[in-house]
Amino acid sequence: MTAANKRNLVIVFAVLIALAVVLFALYKIPSPISDALRAQVRRSRAEVASLDGGAAIPVTPAETRLSSADGMTEVLVPAGQFRSGTDEKGAQKNRPAHLVEVSAFWVDQTEVSNAMYARCVAAGECPLPAAGQNPYYGDSTYNDYPVVYVTWSAADAYCRWAGRRLPTDAEWEKAARGTDERIYPWGDNPPDMSLANFDNLIGEPLPVDRYPLGASPYGALNMAGNVREWVSDWFHEFYYLVAPPVNPQGPPETGRKSLRGGSYLDDANEIRVFNRFDHEPNSPGENRGFRCAVGAEK
């Protein structure tokens, strides 16, 4: 190596070291630039963690089947009792803890994706997601992302087109929680980057098949975080005080529908499986999607 080449190599290394020092300083010193850099680093780490290193789902569903309408994998949730809600002090909407028995049913393993929803639109059975608001729908880059900006009636129309229906509030909770009163789909451990898309770690939804290690006891994915999911029930804060113990269908019309699961914007407390959300059914949103269900007899 000539002296000139050695000198050039030293210069390159010096520049790289200086750049690393500058980036480190920007990361450490409070400033708009350092805040943005830290957010990007956190987002990148979270996106990598969501893949769980290509891990397999650590739960073997009792039974699965494939929908001919939209290609959705459905997992079986057996009949039986589970404990719904909580006795934790705080929001009345989730109280009290109470035993509920539900009949066996199939539930979608994932949230409905943009590509799946597009089939229903093409068939003339579903409206387009809210016009001018959805940055994901219609862009093939996001085919596997959950469809968002859908109203409750659009979600309901999709499930009916696919030969299914929206799950009841009780069915959704059992599919997410199982029968051991766990706090999250994966158990009682707090969420982290490898288990759920939450707390604005990423700032948007991720594909519906991410977070295999966060699977529910029946093998359903993303039942905590990613997007909130419409269910069939109307919402009432005090419904659990009077809910029937077998296959509850929710209160009479109240003007607001229930949603479950929390989203990428919600914190660790909000994505707990017993937590209920509510919203006007005709209002779509950036973090509202859905999955479908159907009775096991069908």
Averaged pLDDT for residues 145-164: 98
Q: Determine the pLDDT at residue 213.
A: 97
β-pairing, 228-234 with 105-108?
unpaired
Q: Determine the pLDDT at residue 2.
A: 64
pLDDT-wise least confident of 78-82, 87-91, 257-261, 275-279: 87-91
β-pairing, 228-234 with 98-102?
unpaired
101 contacts 244 by C-beta, under 8 angstroms: no
What confidence tens digit (pLDDT) does each residue in 45-103 have?
999 999 988 889 999 999 999 999 999 999 999 999 999 999 999 899 999 999 999 99
**29 or 248, higher pLDDT:** 248
Dist. CA 209–CA 232, nearest whole Å: 23
What confidence tens digit (pLDDT) does each residue in 93-130 have?
999 999 999 999 999 999 999 999 999 999 999 999 98
Averaged pLDDT for residues 169-178: 98
Dist. CA 38–CA 17, nearest whole Å: 20
pLDDT at 27 over 90: no
**26 or 286, higher pLDDT:** 286
Q: Determine the pLDDT at residue 30.
A: 61
pLDDT at 278 over 70: yes
Q: Determine the pLDDT at residue 286.
A: 93
Q: Determine the pLDDT at residue 10.
A: 41
Q: Cα 249–293–53 angle (5° rounding)?
A: 130
Q: What's the pTM value of the predicted model, to 2 decimals? A: 0.88
Q: Where are the beta strands (DSSP E) in 205-275?
A: 228-234, 257-260
What confidence tens digit (pLDDT) does each residue in 7-19 have?
555 455 545 555 6
Q: Determine the pLDDT at residue 184.
A: 98
pLDDT-wise least confident of 133-137, 164-168, 169-173, 281-285: 133-137
Residues 57-295: name the CATH superfamily: paralog of FGE (formylglycine-generating enzyme) (3.90.1580.10)
Q: Determine the pLDDT at residue 144.
A: 98
In the chain, what are the domain boundaries?
Answer: 57-295
Q: What is the CA radius of gyration of the chain?
A: 22
Peptide bond into 167 cis (omega under 30): no
72 contacts 158 by C-beta, under 8 angstroms: no
Q: Whole-number mean pLDDT of the chain?
A: 91
CB atoms within 10 A of CB 60: 10
